[in-house]
Amino acid sequence: MPTEGAPTIGPATAPVTLVVFSDFQCPYCSKLATTLGQLRGKYGDKLRVVFRNNPLPFHPRAEPAAELAHEAFARLGNAGFWKAHDLLFAQPVHLEDADLAQVATSLGLNTATAMSAVSSHKHAKRLQADQDLAEEVEANGTPTTFINGRKLVGAQGAEAFSAVIDEELAHAEHLLTGGVQPAQLYAEMQKGAKDGTPTKVKVPAPGPAQPSRGASNAPVTIQIFSDFECPFCNSVRPTLAQLEQEYGSKVRLVWRNLPLAMHPNARPAAIAALEAYKQKGNDGFWKMHDLLHDNHEALDRGSLRGYAGKLGLDMARFDAALDSGAYAAAIDQDIKVGATANIHGTPSFVINGYVLTGAQPYAKFKRLVERALREAGTKP
């Protein structure tokens, strides 16, 4: 549970570090804020509190409030952030712009400058980094706290927190007696922690048999294991398009067929797409791809022939491909590649080796793409 770059209160050498993922519009987080104040009073310099943002999507004023708190942090340091923290949690239901402006004035900030930071989402990258971390450590709701890495969910009472803190104090005392220096205590306690690294698998690099879109030398390759009859595969298309728009030449999409047994028309549709690829290259494939996904409930032979006609394919060659079950070896090879990587459902994605399964939100794709870019030595 990293602490770098986050607002903190309490000494870095404190034997207990409590990291809280919170939302300024969440009433349970407001309740916990009071509890944390009690715990700081009880434990003093033995407790360090670290704040991480996780503004939930159904709390529309949580993100603006977090922007203001981080503007206070940027300009006034830790003391300014925690003063903003307390003021914002004093009125969790009333976080409209006028309320935020009043908080800014109370903090001694230039109100116009502070509100400009809010409206321009000045600290969006910081907030997103916290949300990415929340996802990695499965802090799915607010508040979620980690006490020296031990997870505690919800606005529990001070007694529940004290029970864990007291155990961690005893553990810390044992380590200190054993020669661990106070400045190294938290790092020592984190040595056995899960790092939240997503699953990584080995899949072959794509070759000329795989349709693709994007630069062949793109630092990030997203291999798509998909089924043209799968409605979830269709629903993730806007997310992939958004990735292409945001990252441009940094991202390459590669198609791998994974027709599921429960979808009787998925394999004929895969043959239709690969025949379009053979006749008209990547451009023909992706046009057929879009037609098939747009009409994933109409993939009978007559419909497939209609899509081929729209694309101007050679119909004799197209019919021959469907009749012969062409490309069976290529499709089966994709299925084998997926199975070797323990990929059996659609849609599934391998992003420079990192696996993502299902029609997940954009933020999950973005997190893995940016991790892959950093590992490739490319600025996200």
Residue 64: the pLDDT is 97
The Cα–Cα gap between 139 and 48 comes to 19
The Cα–Cα gap between 167 and 278 comes to 65
3-class DSSP state of 40: helix
- Look at phi and psi of residue 304 and say left if phi exceeds 0, alpha if psi is from -120 to 50, else beta: alpha
The Cα–Cα gap between 184 and 194 comes to 18
The Cα–Cα gap between 32 and 176 comes to 30
Residue 57: the pLDDT is 83
3-class DSSP state of 365: helix
Residue 197: the pLDDT is 66
- Look at phi and psi of residue 342 and say left if phi exceeds 0, alpha if psi is from -120 to 50, else beta: left
Residue listed under structure tokens 């349709």: 211
The pLDDT tens digits along the chain (380 residues) read 888 899 999 999 999 999 999 999 998 899 999 999 999 999 999 999 999 999 988 899 999 999 999 999 999 999 999 999 999 999 766 899 999 999 999 999 999 999 999 999 999 999 999 998 888 887 878 899 999 999 998 888 899 999 999 999 999 999 999 998 988 888 888 876 765 667 789 999 999 999 999 999 999 999 999 999 999 899 999 999 999 999 999 999 999 999 998 899 999 999 999 999 999 999 999 999 999 999 999 999 999 999 999 999 999 999 999 999 999 999 999 999 999 998 988 999 999 999 988 887 888 899 899 999 999 998 77
pTM: 0.58
Cβ proximity of 186 and 148 under 8 Å: yes
Residue 247: the pLDDT is 97
State which amino acid sits at residue 353: G
Helices (H), 44-110: 62-89, 97-107
Residue 198: the pLDDT is 75
Residue 84: the pLDDT is 97
Cβ contacts of 194-199, under 8 Å, gap ≥ 24 = 194/137, 196/133, 196/136, 196/137, 197/136, 198/136, 198/354, 198/355, 198/356, 198/368, 198/371, 199/354, 199/355
- DSSP helix, strand, coil percent of the chain (3-state; round to 5): 55, 15, 35
Give the β-pairing of 150-153 and 354-357: unpaired
Domains for the chain: give ranges and CATH numbers. Answer: 8-189 (3.40.30.10), 212-375 (3.40.30.10)
Residue listed under structure tokens 């084998």: 336
Cβ proximity of 6 and 130 under 8 Å: yes
Q: What is the CA radius of gyration of the chain?
A: 26
- Look at phi and psi of residue 302 and say left if phi exceeds 0, alpha if psi is from -120 to 50, else beta: alpha
Distance of CA 36 to the CA centre of its chain: 28
Bridge partners of residue 26, in order along the sequence = none
